[in-house]
């Protein structure tokens, strides 16, 4: 039996109490297996919050569904189970705030600017921008999720800047200031590259399919550093 089947068997069929059932199932069904529990908790967070975010602008586009599949690949024979969980989350009477609060509590490393929760937020941004436009309601949704995740406004703006298609501020992407000397900027860049290396995601229990986000993140960091380096050389 797959972990999806175990989870859904423990949840039952009632959408109205899906949130409580999901969280309790993760706590109990996978008790004694912390690695699997982390992966399941992360996967459920992405599924549940993306289902809630789909309601943010009132439209679920095909591109958003495709983006979801890009970062959350699952065996074909588990598609119905994943779809069932997605629909339970979408129909649940609980709001997205409750999902964010309860699911983030499953992260044992949870703290201000928790890297695991940043991975979740990056995944949600990836889905939100699939139609090449992050709607205002989606951005407000993501901002509020970040607040619930105890992320600072500065950290949120840095994450958001990574997902801007064009015209993004490279200094904001790296979390540095135009007044910083280039040595400071280079050290910051190398620190971020180390922090966001795909191997770090594995150690945080992030599913391997999510590495498309890691590659996207690294590309944004590299582009920002290259833009600043070019600017400084031209000065």
Query: Over the range 172-186, which residues count as b (16 or more CB within 10 Å of their CB) and which as e?
Result: bbbbbeeeeeeeebb
d(C-alpha 100, C-alpha 50), whole Å: 11
Which residue segment(s) compose the domain that 14 sits in?
3-234
- Checking phi first, is residue 2 left (phi over 0); if not, alpha (psi -120 to 50) or beta? beta
User: What is the distance, to the nearest Å, from the Cα of residue 135 to the centroid of all Cα atoms in its chain?
Assistant: 17
Question: Which of 142, 100, 140, 137 lies closest to 121, judged by CA?
Answer: 142
Query: Are the C-beta atoms of 198 and 181 separated by less than 8 Å?
Result: no
Cβ neighbours for 53, distance < 8 A, ≥ 6 positions apart = 96, 124, 127, 128, 138, 141, 142
Number of domains in the chain: 1
* Per-residue tens of pLDDT for the chain, all 235 residues: 666 677 677 766 555 556 667 767 777 777 777 667 766 777 777 777 887 887 776 666 677 767 777 776 667 777 777 777 777 777 766 677 877 887 677 665 555 667 778 888 888 888 888 777 788 888 898 999 999 888 888 889 888 988 875 557 899 999 999 999 999 999 999 999 988 877 777 676 666 666 777 888 888 899 999 999 999 888 6
Q: What is the pTM of this model?
A: 0.76
Instruction: Give the pLDDT score at 88.
Output: 75
């Amino acid at each position: 039996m797959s972990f999806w089947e175990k989870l859904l068997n423990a949840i039952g069929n009632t959408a109205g109490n899906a949130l409580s059932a999901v969280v309790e199932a993760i706590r109990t069904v996978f008790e004694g297996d912390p690695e699997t529990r982390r992966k399941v908790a992360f996967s459920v967070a992405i599924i549940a919050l993306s289902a809630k975010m789909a309601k943010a602008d009132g439209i679920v586009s095909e591109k958003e569904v495709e983006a979801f599949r890009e970062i959350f690949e699952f065996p074909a024979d588990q598609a119905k189970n994943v779809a069932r969980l997605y629909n339970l989350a979408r129909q649940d009477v609980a709001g997205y705030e409750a999902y964010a609060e309860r699911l983030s509590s499953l992260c044992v490393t949870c703290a201000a600017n928790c890297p695991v929760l940043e991975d979740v937020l990056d995944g949600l941004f990836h889905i939100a921008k699939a139609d090449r436009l992050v709607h205002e309601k989606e951005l407000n949704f993501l901002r509020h999720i970040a607040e619930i995740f105890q992320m600072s406004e500065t950290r949120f703006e840095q994450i958001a800047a990574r997902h801007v298609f064009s015209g993004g501020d490279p200094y904001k992407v790296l979390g540095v200031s135009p007044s910083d000397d280039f040595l400071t900027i280079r050290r910051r860049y190398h620190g971020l590259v180390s922090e966001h290396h795909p191997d770090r995601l594995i150690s945080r229990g992030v599913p391997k399919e999510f590495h498309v986000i890691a590659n996207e993140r690294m590309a944004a960091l590299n582009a920002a550093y290259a833009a600043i380096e070019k600017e400084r050389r031209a000065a």
